[in-house]
Amino acid sequence: MNNHFRNHEGKKQELLYGMHSLMEAILEGKELDKVLIRKGLKNERSQEMLKLLRERGIPVQFVPHEKLQRITRKNHQGIIAFGSLIEYSNIETLIPGLFEEGEVPFIIVLDGITDVRNLGAIARTAECAGVNALLLPTKGAAQINADAIKTSSGALMNMNVCRTDDLNKTLLFLKNSGLKIVAATEKTENTHFSADLTGPIALIIGSEEKGISQALISLSDLHVKIPLLGKVSSLNASVAGAVIMYEIMRQRSLV
């Protein structure tokens, strides 16, 4: 069944519930933001559904029955899905397409960015700086909700956004496709001014609390930092991303 739900920003979001309706939506390729499944639901149909959701990289949360009831009193059969506010792109088809069109790919990879306003602000700058796509992990990333879209000034509706279950694997794909993997980290002596940021690039921006994971740092070809002259030890993730994005844009304009 389809319905609508008002999220905490008061915006309407499409709601799907019931095993049959949700299965049809997934098989038809409908974009889903996330799926809520009742804790302890382990019948054959729900297990088949869970397998399909994981194969498609759709975020899943296991929640108490009471939470589902607060969302809808309809016969949800222990499973509720929220329709996505955007349409996601496939990074593995996007990159070859960009090369075929004569583009020099410029991708922003977000690792651990969980604040929707940071996500929105990064997307806004990325769209203005000519970034081809944002790449987000399926789990552990800010949801692209109405608040994120508002903060992005609509940029999230106008650019490619890709999701992946495995950032490490997808970064290897980008690397093997000819992109230079650049990690924005303070744990280096190289500044973004001195680095060669021309050519196809995937720039990784990490969270303010944890930075970029060590696994992604190890996969990177280049580590760069922004020099800080004041007493504050770091910049907001969206500001740091903006500074480096525009240095990439500046260097590209000189080539």
User: At 61, which helix (H) or strand (E)?
Assistant: strand 60-63
| Residue 10 banded pLDDT, cuts 50, 70, 90 | very low
Instruction: Give the integer Cα–Cα distance in Å for 175 and 202.
Output: 9
CATH number at residue 235: 3.40.1280.10
Q: What is the mean pLDDT of the chain?
A: 89
Domains held by the chain: number: 2
Judgement on whether residues 79 and 95 belong to the same structural domain of the protein: no
The yes-or-no verdict on residue 45 having pLDDT over 80 is yes
Last residue of a domain, one of 83, 110, 144: 83
**23-32, 51-60, 113-122: which range is least confident on average?**
23-32
Q: In one letter, which amino acid is 195?
A: A
Which among 5-9, 21-25, 239-243 has the top mean pLDDT? Answer: 239-243
Last residue of a domain, one of 54, 83, 112: 83
Judgement on whether residues 170 and 194 belong to the same structural domain of the protein: yes
**Dihedral sign from CA coordinates of 160, 163, 167, 170:** negative
Per-residue confidence (pLDDT) for residue 44, from 0 to 100:
86
Sheet holding 106-111, edge to edge: 160-164, 133-137, 106-111, 201-206, 180-184, 222-224
Largest CA distance in the chain: 60
In this prediction, residues 118-138 reach a mean pLDDT of 96
Q: Judging by DSSP bridges, how do beta strands 60-63 and 79-83 pair with one another? A: unpaired
DSSP state of 24: H
Per-residue confidence (pLDDT) for residue 1, from 0 to 100:
55
pTM of the full structure: 0.79
Judgement on whether residues 58 and 97 belong to the same structural domain of the protein: no
Instruction: Give the integer Cα–Cα distance in Å for 220 and 216.
Output: 6
Sheet holding 12-17, edge to edge: 2-6, 12-17, 79-83, 32-38, 60-63
